[in-house]
A and B are shown apart, each in its own frame.
Chain A
């Protein structure tokens, strides 16, 4: 049997112990689902695709933020130790393992992490060469699934509630490299305001834990370079 301690409650609460049979290739999400379906239907958690695409099942597993649908129990715990499941950090806990992602996406918007087409309709389709520097830089950060793991892992987010965080800044960097976008000045102003990209301490927790192997740290460094270039050019 696998011994599992699951966070119950909201911002305050306690760990509730469960025991679940070990099964071959069992994922952490399988364990949570089995508890909810077989033992305690009041357990709240969130999932959708179960195949690592939607980014909704992230939790803190034995102290590490992880995507539970793609994390096998065998990889998360030693054979004789217990599984401890908590909600993601740095986000408001709704109940048990479900967090309110609103603050993450509010920051996403504050970092202008959305495509800005501009007022003038272009005459033709934009031509973006796959080998161009911009396209390749965007490609490196584009696979984000918005799971919030980097946001949960970031120490600076924990210290400074206003810090935009690695997910929002990574998205902003992909857009800075989108040659079709017409909102670059506003975006660079937004990400270099008080608690923007310059607040990053380069701890690299986001890069360490990102399940999609994205490196938000490098995206943030790119934003610092772009903001510095803009600050220099504006003075000329």
Chain B
């Protein structure tokens, strides 16, 4: 399983490298001359490109972060085993749910 998690962490990192760059570049581009909530919603509401990009972003975060946290828990707190893995699956699902909630809130606003 460790080899699969290693692969998943690297693959999600590759997605995040691109996603974070696009995310930051978009912010810098969008805030030129100020930005209001109304302007943000006007861009995101019903925008399927926005929706697809951020669902992938959130999914990559939900895969990447728990695997890294798993390594930290193993090394620093010596927490290993099924209970740890189960807790991290819950953490992954919570990350995805919270992220997806925010993404859909802007899409459906």
* A residues in contact (CB < 8 Å) with B: 159-160, 188, 192-196, 198-199, 224, 227-228, 230-232
Contacts and interface: CB of A to CB of B under 8 A. Distances in A.
Contacts of B7: 228, 231-232
B2 A194 contact: yes
Nearest to B80: A194
Interface in B57-89: 71, 74-75, 80
Nearest to B10: A228
B6 A227 contact: yes
Majority-rule SS of A interface residues: helix
Interface of B: 2-7, 71, 74-75, 80
A232 B6 CA distance: 11
A160 B75 CA distance: 7
B6 A228 contact: yes
B2 A198 contact: yes
Contacts of B80: 194
Contacts of B3: 188, 192, 198, 224, 227-228, 230-231
Contacts of B2: 192-194, 196, 198, 227
For the complex of A and B, the 10 pairs showing the least CB-CB separation, nearest first, are A227-B3, A231-B3, A192-B3, A198-B2, A231-B4, A192-B2, A198-B6, A228-B7, A228-B3, A159-B75
A187 to B, nearest CB: 13
A231 B4 CA distance: 6
A194 B8 CA distance: 16
B2 to A, nearest CB: 5
11 contacts: A188-B3, A198-B3, A198-B5, A199-B74, A199-B75, A224-B3, A224-B6, A227-B3, A228-B7, A231-B6, A231-B7
Nearest to B5: A198
